[in-house]
Structure 1
């Protein structure tokens, strides 16, 4: 099992924690990170969700991150950030 397949930047961590608190989202929810679509037309999938049977759950910088095992290879090394307007994902 990987330690941290993705990185959560401090500003994103703060925003995630604030959003969870402000919306009174239950503690068992985490940030789902994945990809939508495939090939050149794929886009990032970010949202709050509950882990399911095909998911791996990681504690990344104090944030519960949920990644479907099928998406793990695609999200490996991604950096989740936040700027005015929303979350950002960069892949190195």
Structure 2
């Protein structure tokens, strides 16, 4: 059994990552996803352009699209599906995260708990 992915990307997310990287050109490798304290529910997802790979980062790839996951975010993002949505009101990446305990009304900020590694290991067995 291989290592399980920290997060997975939908087709829409992968194609959007590829479009962003193509649009930036040059040294862009993909995007970096992290979490930071903030917002009304306690945590916010962060998305930045990744121009290099940092030590200890996880890397997820789909259809050539690369997402780097900051080491401090891994436990909060385990099992998350990253999607890209365009609606009348907003367009952007969305995260379906099993570690999310609640979210604020605007969906920009979430309450996250660290993943239960023992439960994950049991589920993988």
Q: TM-score range by the shorter chain?
A: 0.7 to 0.9
Consecutive unaligned residues of structure 1, counting only runs of 5 or more, are none
Please list, as runs of the form range in 1=range in 2, the aligned pairs for 1:1-92 lying within 5 A after superposition. 2-27=3-28, 29-37=29-37, 40-49=41-50, 50-53=52-55, 55-61=56-62, 62-84=64-86, 85-92=91-98
The 1:4–1:60 alpha-carbon spacing in structure 2 relative to 1, beyond 3 Å, is farther
The 1:68–1:36 alpha-carbon spacing in structure 2 relative to 1, beyond 3 Å, is same
- 1:12-41 deviation line (CA, Å, top 9, x unaligned): 1111101111221425x2221111117x41
State the TM-score, normalized to the length of structure 2.
Answer: 0.61
Consecutive unaligned residues of structure 2, counting only runs of 5 or more, are 99-125
If asked which structure has higher relative contact order (CA below 8 Å, sep 6+), I would say: 1
2: distance between equivalents of 1:25 and 1:12? 21
2: distance between equivalents of 1:64 and 1:46? 13
- Secondary structure of the corresponding residue to residue 48 of structure 2: strand
The 1:89–1:14 alpha-carbon spacing in structure 2 relative to 1, beyond 3 Å, is same
The 1:67–1:73 alpha-carbon spacing in structure 2 relative to 1, beyond 3 Å, is same
RMSD value, Cα: 2.1
The 1:86–1:26 alpha-carbon spacing in structure 2 relative to 1, beyond 3 Å, is same
